[in-house]
Amino acid sequence: MKVLKFFIPVLFSSLALSFSPSAYSDEVKVESPFRVDERLQKNVQFWIKIYSQYSTYQGVIHDSKYIDHVYEVIDLRSGAKESPKKRRKRFQESKRKWTQILLSVHKKRKTPEKLTEEERRVFEMFANDDEPDKFVKATQRKRLRMQLGQKDRFIEGLKHSGRYLPQMEQVFKNAGLPVELTRLPFVESSFNVEARSKVGASGIWQFMRSTGRLFLKINNAIDERDDPIRATEAAARLLKMNYEHLKNWPLAVTAYNHGLMGMERAVKKVGSEDLEDLVEDYRSRRFGFASTNFFTEFLAALEVEKNADRYFGVVERYSPIPSYEVKIPKPLDVRVLVQFLRLDLNALDNLNPGIKDAVFAGRILLPAGYSLRIPLPAGETPPATPEGAARVFLVGYDQIPDIYKLRGQRLGKYGKPKQK
């Protein structure tokens, strides 16, 4: 049965009634569609601390169900950079310690005067939780977990986001979507264009190859998951599709992580379209910690990014690189373009992260029809416009000797010889 209730916007200051990016967008919203009720506000506060207080050398040991129950914060620095193996060992040691403490609290729960100082802190931490055998259950598999802080990565993400957010916001405005959604890459990748997950997700939007192929070019020459703007266009399409099916943004954003069909199953099973109800009542092996926390991580990222100066002081963001795009008429060796049009190869590489290294090395041709991003000429009077620069580029392209273009016709689409 669907539960009727009042929604209370998450408030982080007496001034804010909604999340509205202020650094680039000129939109002003009276009410934000991005909110949760009181049941998930503790989760949002937890992730705000992860993004703004704890760095990646700090491991926060906490309960995965009652996420605000933090047992301790481990300093993972040990002279040289600690390996993942050593970090896991430190976590296992902490896990054993807190398991013993929780079991001890369970035994002494009816005689609290016998509790040690650490045990009393745990006892009081769970005071408002009515779950039977709550201390024993808190020792179960996956309940004790370690979350690395993200403060240093978030600050780096703020710097890099300045290069892309203005254009990303325009993409979402053109699609009729809230510009707040452009802050999801803070959760997914901290705007690291080289981000790769252990399961194969790639780019600032962390598209899996299977999902990326629905919206993007992915082959042995191009992987548009790694191009922030092309991937933003794909993310806008995916999020819009999620919203059209699920009818509210908490579910649509969660579906970005969990999948549209998975969220539709959850809604049908629980009989509610409220994310809070799904988090409380839906049980599925795949609907785990990452999915149940994804939307609250997003809300936390919105808050921290919007008020970055308050959390971190002044952070200088990189400026967008003035550039223009032009479609390449025929397959061509990038080095030929660089040579005849006097382009900067490193600048092309930086502006086109969706082009694979093999293309820049000349082992594979740049495919025909690809929209190449090229830096605008600097120091011209009057300043060059994208339209004018594109026309100049195509004039120069036409002057490249045909022998170099014929090479592309004699070879296959991505540099492999055609079969006779």
pLDDT band at 385 (very low <50, low <70, confident <90, very high): confident
Do 170 and 137 fall within a single domain?
Answer: no
Whether residues 174 and 268 fall in one domain: yes
Element (H, E) at 118: helix 117-125
- In the numeric block, which tokens belong to residue 131? 């779950």
CB atoms within 10 A of CB 278: 23
Is 99 in the same domain as 193?
Answer: no
Tell me the per-residue pLDDT of 391-400, one tens digit each, with 9 for 90 and over.
999 999 999 9
Give the pTM: 0.87
164-221 confidence digits (pLDDT tens): 999 999 999 999 999 999 999 999 999 999 999 999 999 999 999 999 999 999 999 9
Model pLDDT for residues 235-246, shown as the tens digit of each residue: 999 999 999 999
> What one-character-per-residue DSSP string does 238-295 give?
HHHHHHHHH-SHHHHHHHHHH-HHHHHHHHHHHT---HHHHHHH---SSS-HHHHHHH
Whole-number Cα distances in Å, 214 to 30, 217, 225: 35, 9, 11
On the CB side of 272, CA atoms within 13 Å amount to 16
- Of the candidates 148, 180, 198, which is a domain's last residue? 148
Dig out the tokens for 354 from the structure.
Answer: 């969706």
Note whether 248 and 305 are same-domain residues. yes
Asked whether residue 418 is assigned to any structural domain, the reply reads no
Question: Are 292 and 339 found together in one domain?
Answer: no
Using a 10 angstrom Cβ sphere, with 0-12 exposed, 13-18 middle and 19 or more buried, the burial of residue 292 is: buried
One domain, residues 136 and 273: no
Give the rounded distance of the alpha carbon of 403 from its chain centre: 44
Give the model confidence (pLDDT) of 152-163 as tens digits: 999 999 999 999
Interatomic CA distance for residues 312 and 304, integer angstroms: 9
Quick one: 293 and 337 in the same domain? no
Do 96 and 201 belong together in one domain?
no
- Euclidean distance between CA atoms 10 and 347, whole angstroms: 42
d(CA 385, CA 370): 21
Task: Provide the pLDDT confidence category of residue 87 given band limits of 50, 70 and 90.
Answer: confident
Quote the domain boundaries for residue 62: 57-148
Give counts: helices (H), strands (E), the chain. Answer: 18, 5
Per DSSP, 315 falls in state -
Tokens encoding 408 = 């592309």
Higher confidence at residue 321 or residue 22? 321
Out of 132, 148, 164, a domain closes at 148
- How far apart CA 83 and CA 389 sit, in angstroms, is 48
Domain boundary among 283, 312, 341: 312
Integer Cα distance of 299 and 34 in angstroms: 7
Same structural domain, 188 and 305: yes
Q: What does the pLDDT read at residue 10?
A: 37
Band (32; pLDDT cuts 50, 70, 90): confident
208-237 tens-digit pLDDT: 999 999 999 999 999 999 999 999 999 999
Bond from prior residue into 382 cis (ω within 30 degrees of 0): yes
Give me the mean pLDDT over the 17-22 stretch. 44
